[in-house]
């Protein structure tokens, strides 16, 4: 019997030492099985009990039970230590933002674009989006600017290498006007859309010129649309966008895709029409081109100009942002300079 008692005590010491030393939770489960499992070390002693003398059975039985209890206790202790290490009890609200964290702001162009979209949506326009890589036909030819037209020269752009010198040649769009063509082809008429978007020109950059800028195109085609409708809608929209009652001037202008064409000026926002460096002492700022859709444009998309008529307009969103906030260098918009961008954070 002394022999069994010695063995049990040895196993107990060994188990306790092994369990204490273990470094991970998986091992604890393994050791639990090794010592306390059905075929484990302690179970072996329990099986020996029946071969012992009557008076020895209770002594050895008691020792086995005490050993089991001691091992269970140490296992629980170690498990608990692992548990509390993985879920520390901290007095912290982890849903709170960290101290000093900065939130991103909306780019001023995006902010203004949303504002313009909201205003024109209230006036009954649907907002459409288009590709920045266009083909020659949508960007020029269908807008009554054929291959030979001099208007192409003032809208030089970045051509994507292409062997063909025809309508399928791809380029970075020079204006949002191709959305007139795409919308009429896709949705048919009657139609009332605005298309804000990024456009590209081959420019030598300086404070007033940038290769990349934003425009907003507008188009309304229906039966019996007249220039009075254009004047009424734009007068209203300009005041809504600027948030004040500015003077607006309409004068004749030439764009191949409208006839008659107009240029719309607004009273200089910086000097209130008195004359300053920004308005070159005229008191006026060019705001938008517009006009009645040229019959050739309607014909290009198989719409009968004897039945349908429409107006179109296009203005620079980048330019509007510069006027609205008094920004004197167009390059700031794409500079990624946080000192500039932070000023627009709401």
User: What are the residues binding ligand DAH (CB under 6 A)?
Assistant: 175, 177, 217, 255, 258, 289-291, 312-314
Least distance in Å: CB of 175 to ligand DAH? 3
Least distance in Å: CB of 230 to ligand DAH? 9
| 155 and 178 Cβ atoms separated by less than 8 Å | no
**Burial zone of 250 (CB within 10 Å; 0-12 exposed, 13-18 middle, 19+ buried):** middle
> In whole angstroms, what is the distance from residue 178 CA to residue 272 CA?
34
Instruction: Considering the complex, state which of residue 135 and residue 217 has its C-beta at the smaller distance from ligand DAH.
Output: 217
**Burial zone of 154 (CB within 10 Å; 0-12 exposed, 13-18 middle, 19+ buried):** exposed
> In whole angstroms, what is the distance from residue 219 CA to residue 61 CA?
96
Instruction: Considering the complex, state which of residue 108 and residue 314 has its C-beta at the smaller distance from ligand DAH.
Output: 314
> In whole angstroms, what is the distance from residue 202 CA to residue 184 CA?
28
Least distance in Å: CB of 174 to ligand DAH? 7
Instruction: Considering the complex, state which of residue 261 and residue 283 has its C-beta at the smaller distance from ligand DAH.
Output: 261
Instruction: Considering the complex, state which of residue 67 and residue 144 has its C-beta at the smaller distance from ligand DAH.
Output: 144
Q: Which residues contact 298 (CB under 8 A, 6 or more apart)?
A: 184, 221, 304, 305, 308, 310
Number of neighbours of residue 77 by Cβ within 10 angstroms: 11
Instruction: Considering the complex, state which of residue 17 and residue 132 has its C-beta at the smaller distance from ligand DAH.
Output: 132
Instruction: Considering the complex, state which of residue 32 and residue 265 has its C-beta at the smaller distance from ligand DAH.
Output: 265
Instruction: Considering the complex, state which of residue 108 and residue 310 has its C-beta at the smaller distance from ligand DAH.
Output: 310
Number of neighbours of residue 249 by Cβ within 10 angstroms: 14
Least distance in Å: CB of 312 to ligand DAH? 4
Least distance in Å: CB of 290 to ligand DAH? 5
Q: Helices in the chain by DSSP H: which ranges?
A: 2-21, 25-36, 41-48, 57-86, 108-122, 136-139, 178-187, 227-242, 295-300, 317-325, 338-341
In the chain, what are the helix, strand and coil shares in percent, each to the nearest 5?
Answer: 45, 20, 35
Least distance in Å: CB of 262 to ligand DAH? 8
Q: Among residues 192, 182, 314, 167, which one has the least CA distance to residue 255?
A: 314
Least distance in Å: CB of 229 to ligand DAH? 14
Instruction: Considering the complex, state which of residue 312 and residue 322 has its C-beta at the smaller distance from ligand DAH.
Output: 312
Least distance in Å: CB of 308 to ligand DAH? 16
Number of neighbours of residue 2 by Cβ within 10 angstroms: 7
């Amino acid at each position: 019997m002394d022999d069994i008692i010695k063995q049990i005590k040895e196993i107990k010491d060994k188990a306790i030492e092994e369990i204490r030393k273990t470094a991970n939770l998986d091992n604890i489960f393994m050791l639990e099985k090794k010592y306390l499992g059905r075929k484990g070390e302690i179970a072996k002693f329990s099986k020996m009990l029946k071969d012992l003398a009557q008076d020895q059975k209770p002594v050895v039985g008691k020792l086995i039970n005490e050993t089991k209890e001691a091992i269970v206790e140490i296992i629980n202790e170690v498990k608990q230590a692992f548990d509390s290490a993985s879920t520390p009890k901290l007095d912290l609200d982890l849903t709170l933002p960290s101290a000093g964290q900065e939130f991103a702001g909306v780019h001023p162009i995006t902010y203004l674009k949303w504002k313009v979209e909201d205003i024109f949506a209230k006036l009954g326009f649907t907002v459409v989006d288009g590709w920045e890589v266009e083909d020659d036909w949508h960007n020029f030819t269908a807008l009554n600017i054929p291959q030979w037209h001099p208007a192409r020269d003032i809208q030089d752009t970045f051509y994507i290498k292409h062997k063909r010198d025809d309508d399928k040649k791809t380029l970075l769009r020079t204006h949002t006007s191709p959305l007139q063509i795409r919308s009429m082809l896709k949705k048919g008429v009657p139609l009332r859309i605005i298309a804000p978007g990024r456009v590209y020109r081959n420019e030598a950059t300086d404070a007033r010129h940038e290769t990349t800028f934003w425009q907003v195109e507008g188009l309304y085609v229906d039966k019996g649309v007249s220039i009075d409708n254009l004047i009424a809608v734009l007068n209203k929209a300009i005041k809504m966008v600027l948030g004040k009652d500015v003077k607006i001037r309409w004068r004749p202008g030439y764009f191949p895709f409208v006839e008659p064409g107009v240029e719309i000026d607004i009273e200089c926002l910086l000097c209130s029409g008195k004359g300053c460096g920004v308005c070159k002492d005229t008191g006026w700022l060019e705001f938008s081109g517009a006009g009645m859709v040229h019959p050739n444009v309607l014909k290009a998309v198989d719409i009968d100009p004897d039945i349908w008529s429409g107006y179109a307009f296009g203005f620079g969103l980048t330019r509007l942002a510069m006027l609205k906030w008094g920004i004197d260098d167009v390059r700031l918009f794409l500079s990624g300079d946080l000192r500039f961008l932070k000023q627009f954070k709401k």
